[in-house]
Chain A
């Protein structure tokens, strides 16, 4: 752990301060969107398509309008009158709000029923009758580019196929040359499955349009309230809802994980209805609607190859991706990066040749591609490289830990330029892996495994030594819909030395109320306890792009430090004035200036702040406030070394995760307790796709597991008891040396688990299994190889 510079009372960085926000949550006083009740509020429920691809012949609303309490049924034709039936996606594609003639995926919104109660709205929904003409959908992305595949986006003039875009990175010719002459080439076809964030709170909103003042207050479950306000203004500006007339409030959020970044049709319909009827409209999705219609994550089909020498030197990698985007490209990626940060897929290894390409296609599935606890496709990238590293080790018969040690980028080689152009800021991969191996007892486990193999028992050890890329991002490259990806902090210190700090981000459980206060406490020496953190209200907080992709600490956290430093500079002037010395004669430690050589002559930060309101130097602005918009000079590159140990029941395929050790390097740590909590949670979200979760569609595009009965979110029984630890290499370019941690475990855990399972099965010639790896899959693989 990094050493604490401040006392426990101040509670700056490095202290495991208990969270300030908890006191309301443990007493049921959290305030989530469904807790909002406004006078005259109406409720909305949504009629959804039972088919993946169909023409809408007729929507009959007569019976629904007879249901007591139903006040309106809104269809695409109604929205069309106001030109509100389409909206832009974050990737500058287009998405229907409500369809006028064709539905493109099962569970797509078809009509909205507005009623005076939740129950009446549901009854109304049941009574809406829609006639469809079913069409043959495109479900398999590999078939979407077939010559006879129907062109899905007929709304796009001149579109002749289902191809969205092509992307590439690295050096194709050089890569081909290295592959052609390499001793060893390994190749696997892998699918990173379509999964869902499944935060325990679903999405929802209360749209409250005030006709008299032409003002919209939008309470919604959003991770990016400011960006949402801008998007609403882009969609509805033409009907008079311009940006200054919109206030977005994001109350407490019951988990987001990237799923609460996009704008879903339900939000827009609620706004449109509130705008038309002049009453507040509440829309809260059911869990099944959430799983079936909201943004998915992942869904990359990857052909992965690695070339190397016989003795285990990695020479080159090549990745060819087919990305299934569903019916529109609604990914949440920075504009210039259609595959997000996938090009981090060269990994933690020192080699200079790589080529990767991706083709994205449309299918009749829900849109999405959200950055689910992942900095834009890093999960896919890490899975591909870490699986292939093990695959290579298996091929040449080298221990995967040894192979990694021999190929790691060395500590002294940072900053290091990757074959795809990223400048890794810092790391010590050898130290991390050694620590993980020590903690788990790696070589003893290998011995045990050898013994077990002799007896025919299956035990596996899997590693994942990944490099992440987070904190998007520097404004020269990073924007979403043109808005640069900075983030912001505004600190106001009151005359009595207590502060309020506001941010453009939005916590969904990450503990910002505590960690941001700790950063400011670290810089200013004002006790964290006396710093109130607020986020999520666009009327009060400074503009920022929100919380996702592990960007809060790297961007807003940095902004907090930088704004604090502006305040320290001001404090120095005031202290010099009060102590009647020159600024250079002052020494600073968080909380206090004193005169060099005369420590008894000092002023505390509280005294200085008070003076800024009561006795500030002439010519200086009164008050003690600062704002900073932080534009990161580079991204940060957290890394980790994870080791998983599994035992497999040969007869049933049952997989038991015996141990899981995770060593993370997230740079300097603000609050060890919170960081550890983030790692635990992320690891469970890592075991989820590795062993349990995947959204499954049949060939007609019906989702087969669109409820929590069948979409298998792990419980406490499936989750192992996680063992975690750290190595610390501070980010050299970040004001507080932090790198961000929220996503490493989700990204790093799946390949560690997959590698462990494949390791257990490798004596039978099994070299790869796609996640989620279920007992049935293991059993089949063993059966196919004649092992049982």
Chain B
């Protein structure tokens, strides 16, 4: 398994990288962690003529809290997310999700930016970002722009990133106290893509009323999916078995999984319901300990 020949560019600055991307247009692809792109190139499913490697550009890898936001550089590796104490404190969901993404070696290379930019509904970060209401920062020739996560995922393998744009940062609002988050996916074996995955972040007020809820679904829809009706079923009332069951049911109805080796459509819908229920419980549990 050997990629087709290509030209390799390794710019040292963002400007240079963007210039190269414009210069080569459709022929060029950004190389980040390479753990989605290189496997596809080895199989010759992807045959770019130019690779623009962004790994040598400084300033793209960080996890910092600033102005009420958690800012994560696009080039931040999964293993950095996994071991970040800053993240673990506020967003326990990152520990959940990174443990379930591929394996330690892949996590040493794969980046959060690449995971999102790949636009694959089977990847795990998209659902998490939906649950956390993230904003994607895209940098292009005209500077940076903010893309709300709900406008980021388009169709199959496609995102709101324009050609020539680099995903440079993800910004996640720091939630108020009383917030908890959790992620789980069912997988056929460790390292596998999800049979179904569910990310939940929930904020419960002192009065016991759910103030905010974010629910994202992995690999049960052509694109990463926000379970809107499920979120609404929770917000504005106390968390009860009834509201949780409703949220679970809605998510299983609103997703659109396809049957494959991981399971039938019916099975996947049922698993979405089970996971939504379990992750709400887990997130609420964490919220109450927060």
Contacts and interface: CB of A to CB of B under 8 A. Distances in A.
Tell me, yes or no, whether A and B come into direct contact in the complex with CB atoms closer than 8 A.
Answer: yes
Interface in A695-711: 696, 704-705, 709-710
Given A779-B267, A779-B270, A717 B186 contact: no
Contacts of A5: none
Nearest to B1: A286
A652 interface: yes
Given A712-B189, A718-B190, A119 B274 contact: no
Nearest to A775: B186
B145 interface: no
Contacts of A779: 267, 270
Interface string A706-737: 00011010110110000000000000000000
A715 B189 CA distance: 8
Interface string B1-22: 1101100000000000000000
Given A651-B274, A776-B267, A718 B1 contact: no
B96 interface: no
A717 B267 contact: no
Interface in B36-74: 44
A692 B190 CA distance: 12
A652 B264 contact: no
Contacts of A242: none
Main secondary structure of the interface of A (DSSP, over half): loop
Interface in B160-214: 186, 188-192, 195
A775 B192 CA distance: 14
Contact of A654 (B2, B4, B186, B192): B186
A715 B190 contact: yes
B188 A692 contact: yes
A705 B261 contact: yes
Contacts of B192: 709, 712
B44 A126 contact: yes
B2 A119 contact: yes
Interface string B206-238: 000000000000000000000000000000000
Contacts of B186: 652, 654, 775
B262 A692 contact: no
Interface string B228-256: 00000000000000000000000000000
A652 B271 contact: yes
A780 interface: yes
Given A122-B2, A286-B1, A780-B264, A774 B188 contact: yes
Interface centre among B5, B192, B261, by most chain A C-beta atoms within 10 angstroms, is: B261
Nearest to B5: A123
A717 B263 contact: no
A692 B2 contact: no
B36 to A, nearest CB: 12
A123 B4 CA distance: 7
B193 to A, nearest CB: 8
A658 interface: no
B63 to A, nearest CB: 27
A118 interface: yes
B191 A776 contact: no
A692 B191 CA distance: 14
Contacts of B2: 118-119, 122-123
A129 to B, nearest CB: 15
A496 B4 CA distance: 58
Contacts of A718: 189-190
A714 B1 CA distance: 23
B189 A692 contact: yes
Interface string A675-707: 000000000000000001000100000001100
B261 A714 contact: no
A710 B261 contact: yes
Q: How large is the interface on B (under 10, 10 to 19, 20 to 34, 35 or more residues)?
A: 20 to 34
A651 B195 CA distance: 14
Nearest to A653: B267
A774 B189 CA distance: 11
A776 B262 contact: yes
B41 to A, nearest CB: 12
Interface string A775-787: 1100110010000
Contacts of B274: 651-652
A712 B270 contact: no
A717 B100 CA distance: 12
A119 B5 CA distance: 10
Given A119-B2, A122-B2, A651-B274, A776 B263 contact: yes
Nearest to A286: B1
Nearest to B262: A776
A48 B195 CA distance: 31
Contacts of B262: 776
A123 B5 CA distance: 9
B278 to A, nearest CB: 8
Interface in A288-311: 288
A717 B189 contact: yes
A775 B263 CA distance: 9
A355 B194 CA distance: 46
Nearest to A779: B267
A696 B261 contact: yes
Nearest to A45: B2
B154 to A, nearest CB: 25
Nearest to A122: B2
Contacts of A780: 264, 267
A652 B266 CA distance: 12
A157 B4 CA distance: 45
Contacts of A118: 2
B182 to A, nearest CB: 16
Contacts of B195: 776
A712 B188 contact: yes
Contacts of A775: 186
A721 to B, nearest CB: 16
Given A705-B261, A776-B264, A780-B264, A717 B44 contact: no
Interface centre among B190, B191, B192, B270, by most chain A C-beta atoms within 10 angstroms, is: B270
Interface string B255-287: 000000111101100110010000000000000
A46 to B, nearest CB: 13
B218 to A, nearest CB: 15
Nearest to B47: A126
Nearest to A704: B261
A190 to B, nearest CB: 21
B35 to A, nearest CB: 12
A123 B190 CA distance: 34
Contacts of B188: 692, 712, 774
B281 to A, nearest CB: 13
A466 B203 CA distance: 56
A716 to B, nearest CB: 9
Contacts of A709: 192
B164 to A, nearest CB: 30
Nearest to B103: A715
A118 to B, nearest CB: 7
Contacts of B1: 122, 286, 288
Contacts of B267: 776, 779-780
A714 B189 contact: yes
Interface string A252-287: 000000000000000000000000000000000010
Contacts of B44: 126
Contacts of B264: 776, 780
Given A714-B189, A718-B190, 20 more contacts: A118-B2, A119-B2, A122-B1, A123-B5, A652-B186, A652-B271, A652-B274, A710-B261, A715-B189, A717-B189, A717-B190, A718-B189, A775-B186, A776-B262, A776-B263, A776-B267, A780-B264, A780-B267, A783-B266, A783-B270
27 contacts: A118-B2, A119-B2, A122-B1, A126-B4, A126-B44, A288-B1, A652-B186, A692-B188, A704-B261, A705-B261, A709-B192, A712-B188, A712-B192, A714-B189, A715-B189, A715-B191, A717-B190, A718-B189, A718-B190, A775-B186, A776-B262, A776-B263, A776-B267, A779-B267, A779-B270, A780-B267, A783-B266
Nearest 7 A-B pairs (CB), nearest first?
A: A776-B263, A717-B190, A122-B2, A651-B274, A776-B267, A712-B189, A119-B2
